[in-house]
Structure 1
Amino acid sequence: MVAQRYVEARAVLVSAIASGQGKTSVTAALARKLVKQGKRVRVFKCGPDFIDPMILERASGATVRSLDLWMVGAELCRSQLAAAAEADVLLLEGVMGLYDGTPSSADLSREFGVPVMAVIDAAAMAQTAGALVMGLRDYGPVQLAGVIANRVASEGHARMVAASLRDISLFATLPKQARSLPERHLGLMLPDDVNDIDTLLDELAEQLVFDLQAWEAMPPVRFAIPDVASAPDRLLAGRTIAVARDQAFMFIYPHNLDTLRELGATLKFFSPLANQPVPAEADAVYLPGGYPELHAQALAQAGAWQASMRAAHAADLPIVAECGGMMALAATLTDQAGVTWPMAALLPGAVTMRARLSGLGLQGLPTAQGQLRGHTFHYSQLETALVPAAHTIKHPSAQQGEAWYRHGSLSASYFHAYFPSNPAAAAALFTRNTA
């Protein structure tokens, strides 16, 4: 019997009582500060998310991958953590509040023995901080590494917060910011859309006051090295998949691209925004989600791209369009200003942006190869006469989720699939004549 092997690294899961407390700003500031001190830092994002990982990747200088006990699965989470433990520091940014969701950030903390670093918005409190943090610690309970107080007004304010914590360490403070990471309807703005993003991250890192000795005194976390998983069958060997990638189509899990390559596919990237047509050598096309509503005019005027998409559809090339990708293939897209733009018109119907969230949460798509897991998050609505070929199933309620459409060789849905959850199902999406 082979003995279990382990690797070690200092690691914390950065969480809070809710969204909006500053988890991403604090995690980015901590990552950037540790990198500047010469540490090798790897950051993970808990739960389904595309935008926060881009900010955290910019802050740390390394690819940020997803952790989720349901969508990603415990084994792949364990493999990622063990592989990353060659770094000096692992930072895991939680999702929503510490105990929100099924599974929650607290579940992930306990599964892998990673202590929680609680972020609190201290702007409108002082001594009550202690009651709040003790509740976070004891409700689960979870192992608590310490507290980072965000939006602290002064050194005196920090001392009051620290005194209220009793036996819990105030690990760091971040003062109120004259400006913060800018947001839009789907969350934080993309890093490339913020002109001085690196200056802003440097400012956050510089203003984060933390005790390096306390950090070095934290015991490292041991991560079990799992057995090497067998590679998936090369079901896409010899195929070239054209992947849209630009500011309109940026929402894609790095592991999705890894999985397609492991399945044997060659990936060829192209930019609809630059009016680049589908590459001639493509055997299939992948349009991931993103912000087509912010670039509707450019997409409407991208005649070469639209014509190439229609030609690919007529030639029966498998086309997979997720969320923003689907929006760009509808007949029209009405943006947030109420202006209607012509799109590629592969999918009959009209997309309209809404003021309120239209879909959110973990979901799974039933397929002939088993369930393909993923999530949904969108502010638009598609009106179409097409009858859905299937619906996703919400997790954990098991209620009906997003419509999944088949129109010729096109598969389209607001559902964002996480390909490693079922590589065979992912391969089938990019294979001709898939039922």
Structure 2
Amino acid sequence: MDAALNAHAGDPAAPAACAALLVAAPASGQGKTTVAAALARLHARQGRRVRAFKCGPDFLDPHWLALASGAPVHSLDLWMTGEADCRARLHAAASAAELVIVEGVMGLFDGSPSAADLAERFGLPVMAVIDAQAMAGTFGALAYGLQNFRPGLPWAGVLANRVAGERHAGMLKDALREPDQWLGALPRGTDFALPERHLGLVATGELGDAMARLDAAADALAATPLGRLPVEGLPRVRFDAVAPAQPAPSAPLLAGRTLAIARDAAFSFIYPANLDVLSALGAQLSFFSPLAGEVLPPCDAVWLPGGYPELHAGALAVHVALRESLARHVAQGKPVWAECGGMMALFDTLTTADGQAHRMWGLLPGHVRMHKRLAGLGPQQLTLGDATLRGHTFHYSSCETPLAPSAHTVRPGGGRTASAGEALYVQGPVRASYFHAWFASSFAATARLFLPAPIGFDHG
């Protein structure tokens, strides 16, 4: 039956099936990304076609999954991207690949929707990764609880991470009620550890040994029962076809317009799907690197995505030519859409975690300050006229500005309480917020961000 399904992989209306797993954990920091990337790398370097996804909003884990799988990594979120979008992407991946890997978000049952919700909706078998470095018999209780907390949840097994040695691994395996649930153990070690900082993992492009780390993780996984399983021995999942959540725009609303997009280590929080939407809207995309001191290329609008300007504030501050080219762009009434880190760079100054203040680009009045604790986290949505963009927020900084917010985002299902959302600032053609938008949630609202006419913020 599976062979018959995949024989019609070229037919977008036909179901598709392939090996698939959702890699989850009881909490953040257990090693989900390491294991998911190791599994992707192990099969990709054996010549198999692998597609990986990230559950929930995330810009950093996908860097590692993309490097490991050799293919772009998209987000799956039942609220932000929508069930139809998730189903369409999984179907397309299963039609083209031999293995689909979905990395979960936070703990298996954390959030609404959770990774467990995604697994249940699409029949994705869950493989739990548990950091077992400080436990023995309790490992079995935790594994049993994850498997049975929600009756009927598809289940593949459990893998222990950061294990001290063979004796420790044996104790963990013996603690399981069902020994066939044991998929192996990864040792403690630094040769394949993925380094972290605030907001998440360090991006692959910042490490000269990123692929070496993935290969070391894949080598370690190859010695486990999971790693020794051929792709045919992994659970197979059938994905039914579905029409896209929203068809391509009937009118290319950004046709003939060139969008300049900042993209480098300071501004790297870009969903591949967002670029696809801009292209579908007819825009020509032109990338530039603020860190390299590149001035704006000829363009009609600018997108400054999120990232880590606070880690590169000194380097960004010295590029006067870029600051001046941005000022000329704004003076000509051309739009700028700035998200989170992109907005931070637009204020007068930015004070980093070490207390140093840096002059930034001065297109918005005010000051940004980094904090040691999260200042914003969670799903958000922004209404522009009769259209709504879905997205999220995640930041460790706050801004002080004399500007009055032109609007606020709101939490899904949380009413229209401004204090629950992120401020959105408008000054001339500059539109800026801590809000990260998922452009595919509304082609019309996305186009308004990059058009010079008023964009119809709903003041609610």
Q: List aligned pairs for 1:301-380, cutoff 5 A.
A: 301-380=318-397
- Secondary structure of 1:393's counterpart equals coil
Kindly indicate whether residue 168 of structure 2 is the aligned counterpart of residue 157 of structure 1.
Answer: yes
- Secondary structure of 2:368's counterpart equals strand
Change over 3 Å in CA distance of 1:396–1:181 after alignment to 2: farther
Q: Could you say which residue in structure 1 is the equivalent of 2:446?
A: 426
The correspondence for 1:237, drawn from 255, 267, 271, is 255
What CA deviation, in whole Å up to 9, does each residue of 1:24-75 have, x standing for no partner? 1111111111122222111100000001101111122111110000000001
- Secondary structure of 2:377's counterpart equals strand
Whole-angstrom distance in 2 between the partners of 1:407 and 1:431: 14
Whole-angstrom distance in 2 between the partners of 1:424 and 1:47: 23
Whole-angstrom distance in 2 between the partners of 1:3 and 1:97: 33
Q: Could you say which residue in structure 2 is the equivalent of 1:134?
A: 144
Residues 171 and 214 in structure 1, CA contact (< 8 A), matched pair in contact too: no
Q: Could you say which residue in structure 2 is the equivalent of 1:382?
A: 399
The correspondence for 1:108, drawn from 115, 118, 142, is 118
Q: List aligned pairs for 1:21-32, cutoff 5 A.
A: 21-32=30-41
Whole-angstrom distance in 1 between the partners of 2:102 and 2:344: 32
For residue 350 of structure 2, what is the amino acid of its counterpart?
A: L
The correspondence for 2:313, drawn from 279, 292, 296, is 296
Shift of 1:425: 0.2
> Which segment is superposed worse, 302-311 or 29-38?
29-38
Change over 3 Å in CA distance of 1:433–1:3 after alignment to 2: closer
The correspondence for 1:394, drawn from 411, 417, 420, is 411
Residues 369 and 424 in structure 1, CA contact (< 8 A), matched pair in contact too: no
Whole-angstrom distance in 2 between the partners of 1:384 and 1:352: 11
Kindly indicate whether residue 65 of structure 2 is the aligned counterpart of residue 56 of structure 1.
Answer: yes
Residues 54 and 191 in structure 1, CA contact (< 8 A), matched pair in contact too: yes
The correspondence for 2:239, drawn from 211, 223, 232, is 223
Shift of 1:213: 3.3
Whole-angstrom distance in 2 between the partners of 1:17 and 1:84: 27
Q: CA RMSD in A?
A: 1.6
Q: Could you say which residue in structure 1 is the equivalent of 2:280?
A: 262
Q: List aligned pairs for 1:148-227, cutoff 5 A.
A: 148-167=159-178, 168-179=180-191, 180-208=193-221, 209-211=223-225, 212-213=228-229, 216-227=232-243
Q: Could you say which residue in structure 2 is the equivalent of 1:39?
A: 48
Residues 335 and 451 in structure 2, CA contact (< 8 A), matched pair in contact too: yes
Residues 411 and 421 in structure 2, CA contact (< 8 A), matched pair in contact too: yes
The correspondence for 1:285, drawn from 288, 291, 302, is 302
Shift of 1:4: 6.4
What CA deviation, in whole Å up to 9, does each residue of 1:361-393 have, x standing for no partner? 111112113221001111111100111011111
TM-score normalised by the chain length of structure 2: 0.91
Q: Could you say which residue in structure 1 is the equivalent of 2:4?
A: none
Give ranges in structure 1 of 5+ residues lacking alignment: none
For residue 319 of structure 2, what is the amino acid of its counterpart?
A: A
Residues 237 and 265 in structure 1, CA contact (< 8 A), matched pair in contact too: yes
- Secondary structure of 1:145's counterpart equals strand
Shift of 1:77: 0.6
Whole-angstrom distance in 2 between the partners of 1:3 and 1:12: 22
Shift of 1:216: 2.9
TM-score normalised by the chain length of structure 1: 0.96
Whole-angstrom distance in 2 between the partners of 1:298 and 1:266: 28
Shift of 1:396: 4.5
Residues 242 and 270 in structure 1, CA contact (< 8 A), matched pair in contact too: yes
Shift of 1:125: 1.4
- Secondary structure of 2:297's counterpart equals coil
For residue 334 of structure 2, what is the amino acid of its counterpart?
A: L
Shift of 1:3: 12
Whole-angstrom distance in 2 between the partners of 1:13 and 1:5: 23
Residues 259 and 419 in structure 1, CA contact (< 8 A), matched pair in contact too: yes
For residue 255 of structure 1, what is the amino acid of its counterpart?
A: A
The correspondence for 1:91, drawn from 84, 101, 113, is 101
What CA deviation, in whole Å up to 9, does each residue of 1:99-149 have, x standing for no partner? 000100000001111010001111111222111111111112311101111
> Which segment is superposed worse, 56-65 or 417-426?
56-65
The correspondence for 1:10, drawn from 19, 26, 35, is 19
Whole-angstrom distance in 2 between the partners of 1:406 and 1:334: 22
Whole-angstrom distance in 1 between the partners of 2:99 and 2:182: 19
Shift of 1:197: 1.2
Whole-angstrom distance in 2 between the partners of 1:37 and 1:390: 51
Residues 125 and 235 in structure 2, CA contact (< 8 A), matched pair in contact too: no
- Secondary structure of 2:379's counterpart equals strand
For residue 92 of structure 2, what is the amino acid of its counterpart?
A: A
Residues 18 and 236 in structure 2, CA contact (< 8 A), matched pair in contact too: yes
For residue 247 of structure 1, what is the amino acid of its counterpart?
A: A
Whole-angstrom distance in 1 between the partners of 2:12 and 2:427: 52
> Which segment is superposed worse, 208-217 or 105-114?
208-217
Give ranges in structure 2 of 5+ residues lacking alignment: 1-10
Whole-angstrom distance in 1 between the partners of 2:304 and 2:74: 20
For residue 99 of structure 2, what is the amino acid of its counterpart?
A: V
Whole-angstrom distance in 2 between the partners of 1:184 and 1:196: 17
Whole-angstrom distance in 2 between the partners of 1:413 and 1:172: 45
Whole-angstrom distance in 1 between the partners of 2:63 and 2:337: 23
- Secondary structure of 2:238's counterpart equals strand
For residue 88 of structure 2, what is the amino acid of its counterpart?
A: S
Shift of 1:215: 5.4
Q: How many residues align?
A: 433
Residues 388 and 403 in structure 1, CA contact (< 8 A), matched pair in contact too: yes
